[in-house]
Amino acid sequence: MKKRGFALLVSLLALFYFGGIGYATDTITIGAAYGLTGTMGWIGGDCVNGVKLAVDQVNAKGGIKGQKIDIAVYDTKNNPDTARTVFEKLIKLDKAVAVCGPVITQATQTVMPLAEKYKVPYSAVSGGFEINAAILPEYKKLGKKCYAWALTIGTPRQNEVKTIWLKKKGYKKLGNIEPLSQMGDLSTVMYEQWAKKYGLEIVAKEKFDEKGTDFTTQMSKIKAAGADCIGSMASGGPATVLVKNRDQVGMKEVPMMTSDANLSKKFIDLLGENTGNVYTVAAKIQYAGYLEDSDPQKKIIQDFQESFKEKFGEGPKSWFFASVGYDSALMFIKAIEAVGTDGEKIRDWLENQNRFQGAQALYSWSPLDHRGIGVDQASVMKIEGGEWVPAR
Amino acid sequence: MNTLSLYIQFVISGLTMGSIYAMVGIGFSFIYRVTTVLNFAQGEFLMLGGMVAITMTSVFGSSLGLALVVGILAVTITGVLFHLGGIRVLGKAEPVRMILITIAGSMFLQGIAYLIWGTDDYSLPPFVKAGTIDFFGASINSQVLPVVGAAVIITAVLKFFFDKTIWGKASAACAESYEASMLMGINVDRMGMLSFAMSAGIGAIGGILISPIALMQYQKGVPLAIKGIAGAVIGGLGNVWGALLGGLIMGLAESLSAGFIASYLTDVVVFVILMLVLFLKPEGLLKAKA
């Protein structure tokens, strides 16, 4: 009697266990781990809506080979520790195949080892860390694989776009002024690299404290060094003060290349009268209205924007972040369609995609580039009539 | 730009920053002189002043003059409430406790500002429309002139207040001895409130005047307060001329080190100077006079 009871228990457990697995294979879970609250919460909000749109579109077509996609949304609070906990939950409890997010650099870097250990590819927002030829070969040397993607143009590539443009316009001497931060240091290193490659001379290298109030000392040093163009990853208020200081020391005509974080109407308002010769870089979705009709990307962006408005009744706060979320989900969906739910296979497949059609731009990923937005997918932007427009 | 005008530019930039730090340091020194409280919320008075004035012009479309008045009044009232609700009720005249309360007050005011204005930077239209003034090849932002002017005028007025008026003398007596002043019939609580009200008002003036130059944001107060307080300590705590001098030294040290040494070393240089002063002349450059 006792034995039979035990056998019954075992078979019941087995039923639950395998039944559970059977249930799990009905849907495929993709994680969405973005900072949804706090100062930059709106960014995560736009991203999540992008993810939802991509997943809804594939589910409406019957899912992937009959399996529906499920999204598990978590708030990382843009805090590295919370992001780590969220990733553990997504991997262990939700059995997420891949994760869209997180947003900020520190969170992105904190979850990196976790993703590698459990072979879960993820697609971040942050532009402030390297997943390119400077880092990825190291992985190969160590016999490891990098599971991090990021669908923003990133500091290295945007500085390349700026340097090429400056060279094309005939500028020769670059003055570099960067905030005292990881991002600023990376930007300086990248300017050095691209200046060497494309033939610009860096005549001044300055730093400034973003909490400071006046940077005319640094600006006049740049002027004294004879710079005819300025490069900086400054953004927001500090960037505004920098531009004002540039104008004050009499360098109004010297173009200043700033961070892509400045791509907002708010920044233009902050600048007030000082909008002349201020530039940044954007990927195609930011200047969709200016694309040639022959550009295949134009139709993709229009379709994306229409279906987004249809689903949510209104546009996002920023098409840029909505498209980052959308493309993050889209790349995993396409990968799962192609190679199934194995994390390592998804990752390997993604690494070999050339001109992958996303809403933001065409991505070309490779073992040397996990961002994939090429120089041809971005443009230098200037301010004209209170708007950011492409500077040809 | 020749070498001389470059050097002049460094000095002008230093004086610009210095007079901003001085505005914080003066208010800080004033409260210390009267109550021996180190008010770490002084930077928030600047921030609130700037934010209120910006809201007046951008949301209510008021003139700059009205914005200035409303900003000063609003922050002065905040200073009084801060003294009534925080220092007087919770502090009970224990210096350490009062300092902790001011730190809490700083966070509280920042939190309020965050709830109202979010994390964005805001700008105020310029007070002086002269643009940039050329000075031996260096350029002076005309926006700076009101800041420097206000710092000097306020210092002089405070000096007069302390030396020539009965209220000023009474307030100085409070710092000298709390109990003795009470026995002499001085209303020490009222003196404390007066010092908070005036310091808050001074902070507001500083915050409003720097908003066109440096923009304003809810976290802008703390870094200004750190530099301003360091300046007040260098100059001699409790001495308003010392706060002005110390603030200018801080600004000059920052600018000259960025100009002649390296711009990533400015904070190191500034705080080495602070430590040197504390080692060699712990009471500050100008000794506090009661």
Q: Given strand A98-100, what is the order of strands in its sheet? A: A68-75, A27-34, A98-100, A122-124, A148-150
Residue A248 maps to which CATH number? Answer: 3.40.50.2300
Judge whether A306 and A298 are in contact, CB under 8 Å: no
Are residues A243 and A125 part of one domain? no
Which residues of A fall below an 8 Å CB-CB distance to B? 39, 180, 206-209, 211-214, 216-218, 220-221, 223-224, 236-237, 240-241, 244, 247-250, 266, 270, 272
Position A181 scores a pLDDT of 87
**What confidence tens digit (pLDDT) does each residue in A284-320 have?**
999 988 998 888 889 999 999 999 999 999 999 889 9
Are residues A94 and A34 part of one domain? yes
Q: Could B267 and A213 be called an inter-chain contact, meaning their C-beta atoms sit closer than 8 Å?
A: no
Judge whether A182 and A105 are in contact, CB under 8 Å: yes
**What confidence tens digit (pLDDT) does each residue in B157-198 have?**
998 988 889 888 888 788 777 788 888 888 888 888 898 999
Position A22 scores a pLDDT of 41
Checking if the pLDDT of A12 tops 60, the result is: no
**What confidence tens digit (pLDDT) does each residue in A168-181 have?**
999 999 999 999 98
- Degrees, nearest 5: CA angle A323-A325-A328: 105
Q: Could B258 and A217 be called an inter-chain contact, meaning their C-beta atoms sit closer than 8 Å?
A: yes
- What tokens does B255 get? 């600018």
In angstroms, the CA A216 to CA A236 distance is 17
Residue A290 within any structural domain of the chain: no
- What tokens does A59 get? 């589910």
Position A10 scores a pLDDT of 59
Angle (deg, nearest 10), helices B42-58 and B64-81: 140
The domain in which residue A41 lies consists of 12-154+297-377
> Which whole number is the average pLDDT over A30-56?
91
Residues 6+ apart with CB under 8 A from A11: none
**A209 contacts in B (CB within 8 Å)?**
223, 266-267
In angstroms, the CA A210 to CA A237 distance is 8
**What confidence tens digit (pLDDT) does each residue in A241-255 have?**
999 999 988 899 999
Is domain B3-280 in CATH 3.40.50, yes or no?
Answer: no
Quickly count helices (H) and strands (E) in chain B. Answer: 11, 2
Phi, psi of B70 (to 5 degrees): -60, -40
Judge whether A143 and A116 are in contact, CB under 8 Å: no
> Which whole number is the average pLDDT over A75-92?
94
Q: Given strand A201-208, what is the order of strands in its sheet? A: A201-208, A173-179, A229-231, A256-257, A278-283, A378-384, A387-390
Are residues A270 and A319 part of one domain? no
Are residues A165 and A99 part of one domain? no
Are residues A161 and A63 part of one domain? no
Are residues A202 and A213 part of one domain? yes
Tell me the shortest Cα–Cα distance from B214 to chain A, in angstroms: 5
- Give A212's pLDDT tier (boundaries 50, 70, 90): confident
- Give A20's pLDDT tier (boundaries 50, 70, 90): very low
- Which residue of chain A comes nearest to B267, CA vs CA? A209
Tell me the shortest Cα–Cα distance from B206 to chain A, in angstroms: 13
Residues 6+ apart with CB under 8 A from A132: A154, A156, A157, A368, A369, A370, A371
Q: Could A221 and B6 be called an inter-chain contact, meaning their C-beta atoms sit closer than 8 Å?
A: yes
Give the residue with greater pLDDT, A146 vs B285. Answer: A146
Tell me the shortest Cα–Cα distance from B145 to chain A, in angstroms: 14
Are residues A331 and A204 part of one domain? no
In angstroms, the CA B193 to CA B85 distance is 11
CB atoms within 10 A of CB A106: 16
- Which residue of chain B comes nearest to A40, CA vs CA? B119
- Which residue of chain A comes nearest to B2, CA vs CA? A224
Checking if the pLDDT of A194 tops 70, the result is: yes
**B258 contacts in A (CB within 8 Å)?**
206, 217-218, 221
> Which whole number is the average pLDDT over A356-383?
94
As a whole number, the mean pLDDT across chain A is 90
- What tokens does A234 get? 């400054």
**What confidence tens digit (pLDDT) does each residue in B238-285 have?**
888 999 999 999 999 999 999 998 888 888 998 899 999 989 988 888
- What tokens does A273 get? 């009268």
Q: Could B266 and A250 be called an inter-chain contact, meaning their C-beta atoms sit closer than 8 Å?
A: no
User: What is the count of structural domains for chain A?
Assistant: 2
**B120 contacts in A (CB within 8 Å)?**
266
**What confidence tens digit (pLDDT) does each residue in B34-44 have?**
888 889 999 99
> How many Cβ pairs within 8 Å bridge chains A and B?
89
Pairing of strands A356-357, A362-363: antiparallel
Most confident of A191-205, A256-270, B11-25: A191-205
As a whole number, the mean pLDDT across chain B is 88
Are residues A274 and A211 part of one domain? yes
Q: Could A209 and B141 be called an inter-chain contact, meaning their C-beta atoms sit closer than 8 Å?
A: no
Residue A263 within any structural domain of the chain: yes
Q: Which residue from B17, B119, B263 is facing A218, i.e. has the nearest CB? A: B263
- Give A21's pLDDT tier (boundaries 50, 70, 90): very low
> Which whole number is the average pLDDT over A102-119?
94
Tell me the shortest Cα–Cα distance from A241 to chain B, in angstroms: 6
ipTM, interface predicted TM-score of the complex: 0.85
Position B169 scores a pLDDT of 86
Question: Per the omega criterion (within 30 degrees of 0), is the bond before B95 cis?
Answer: no
Give the residue with greater pLDDT, B49 vs B95. Answer: B49
Residue A257 within any structural domain of the chain: yes
* CA dihedral sign, ordered A348, A354, A357, A358: positive
- What tokens does B109 get? 């005011």
> Which whole number is the average pLDDT over A135-141?
90
> Which whole number is the average pLDDT over A91-99?
95
Q: Could B1 and A223 be called an inter-chain contact, meaning their C-beta atoms sit closer than 8 Å?
A: yes
**A214 contacts in B (CB within 8 Å)?**
13, 16-17, 20, 213-214, 255
B85 secondary structure, DSSP code: I
Judge whether B101 and B84 are in contact, CB under 8 Å: no
Are residues A238 and A126 part of one domain? no
Are residues A123 and A50 part of one domain? yes
Position A309 scores a pLDDT of 96
Position A310 scores a pLDDT of 95
- Separation in Å, CA A17 to CA A9, A21, A90: 12, 7, 20
Are residues A243 and A301 part of one domain? no
- Which residue of chain A comes nearest to B130, CA vs CA? A248
Judge whether B50 and B124 are in contact, CB under 8 Å: yes
Q: Which residue from A209, A237, A247 is facing B267, i.e. has the nearest CB? A: A209
Position B234 scores a pLDDT of 92
Are residues A31 and A115 part of one domain? yes
Instruction: Locate all alpha helices (DSSP H) within chain A, ordered by sequence.
Output: 2-24, 41-60, 80-92, 105-110, 112-118, 136-141, 154-168, 182-198, 216-224, 236-248, 265-271, 296-312, 319-339, 343-351
Tell me the shortest Cα–Cα distance from B187 to chain A, in angstroms: 39
**B207 contacts in A (CB within 8 Å)?**
none
**B136 contacts in A (CB within 8 Å)?**
none
A104 secondary structure, DSSP code: S
Residue ranges covered by each domain of chain B? 3-280
Give the residue with greater pLDDT, B118 vs B153. Answer: B153
**What confidence tens digit (pLDDT) does each residue in B55-79 have?**
999 999 889 999 999 999 999 999 9
